[in-house]
Amino acid sequence: MTQRIEHHACFGGWQDVYQHRSEVLDCDMRVGVYYPPQVAHGPCPVLYWLSGLTCTEQNFITKAGAQRYAAEHGIILVAPDTSPRGEGVPDADGYDLGQGAGFYVNATQAPWSRNFRMYDYIVDELPAWVESDPAASSVRAISGHSMGGHGALMIALRNPGRYRSVSAFSPIVAPSQVPWGEKAFSAYLGERSEAWKTYDTVELIAGDLSERLPLKIDQGEADEFLDAQLQPQRLAESCAARNHPLDLKLRSGYDHSYYFIQSFIGEHVAYHAKAMA
């Protein structure tokens, strides 16, 4: 069952928030959907946005300022919550595990494995729900921030042909090698194993991919998580070794916040619009 819980006129279109039942996650999920004015004339392509740790569907829709550009280009924006949530869904102390920290993987370990299946939700269930609306076409792109940047890159690389383009802000490119990812993967996937590599962008780039989808990344040089958690040089090295196309822009003075995202989101939306045209 789907319920519309917010509806706001925005740049000639509508910023909505929906709650729908997710069978995959076994809970109700909230999703922000921006419909540009062009939906009046036929189905529009969809840019999926994956947010980072601690976020809900609200962070992107209230802070990134992406609707202006989506309205210009005729793109639907879909911004789901970052994990299963609610009573009966397991949680943990700390902002980097449990609710708000799904890491876009399918958990295999108790108590997480019943609900924490964000990979399947983002790849299959969410687009099927979005595309059941005739306003949305099946032409897709994906982007995200930090944990969501990891999710966007990893999901696009694992699903050749499913997304026309991928981009990220400040992504966790090597979750198997940094504290945020090691904590989450240990809890959700168990002790270090081959399974970790299948959710790790740097490892995926090093492998045999059937599609070398270009990666567009913006990274702030004043990001407080740059050295400990993000380490974009690992991705630069991996892409160089496999000749994988990478456009990594280091932005002087910018931190990890949505002030950074809102400064460059217009370039990302334009990039995806071109790829989905």
Select from 22, 38, 56, 59 the one that contacts ligand LAXINWYW (CB under 6 A): 59
Cα–Cα nearest to 150, from 76, 100, 200? 200
Q: Which is nearer to ligand LAXINWYW, 156 or 178 (CB)?
A: 178
The count of residues interacting with ligand LAXINWYW (CB under 6 A) is: 13
Task: Indicate the helix (H) or strand (E) that contains 262.
Answer: helix 258-276
**Identity of the residue, 166 or 275, whose beta carbon is nearer to ligand LAXINWYW in the bound complex:** 166
Q: Measured from the CB of residue 208, what is the shortest distance to ligand LAXINWYW in angstroms?
A: 29
Q: How far apart are CA 241 and CA 78, in angstroms?
A: 34
Known catalytic residue: 200? no
Interface with ligand LAXINWYW (CB under 6 A), residue from 48, 188, 258, 260: 258
Smallest distance from the beta carbon of 83 to ligand LAXINWYW, in angstroms?
A: 12
**Taking a C-beta distance cutoff of 8 angstroms, is the pair 260, 170 a contact?**
yes
The residue within the footprint of ligand LAXINWYW, chosen from 19, 54, 137, 263 (CB under 6 A), is 54
At its nearest, how many Å lie between ligand LAXINWYW and the CB of residue 57?
12
Cα separation, 157 vs 151, whole angstroms? 10
Give the type of residue at 38: Q
CA distances to 169, 187, 270 from 152, rounded to whole Å, are 10, 21, 17
H/E stretch holding 152: helix 147-158
Do 139 and 163 contact (CB within 8 A), yes or no? no
Binding-site member from 32, 52, 127, 220 for ligand LAXINWYW (CB under 6 A): 52
In the annotation, is 223 catalytic? yes
CA gap 146, 260 in Å, rounded: 12
Is residue 53 within the footprint of ligand LAXINWYW (CB under 6 A)?
yes
Give the interface with ligand LAXINWYW as residue ranges (CB under 6 A): 52-55, 59, 63, 95, 145-147, 256-258
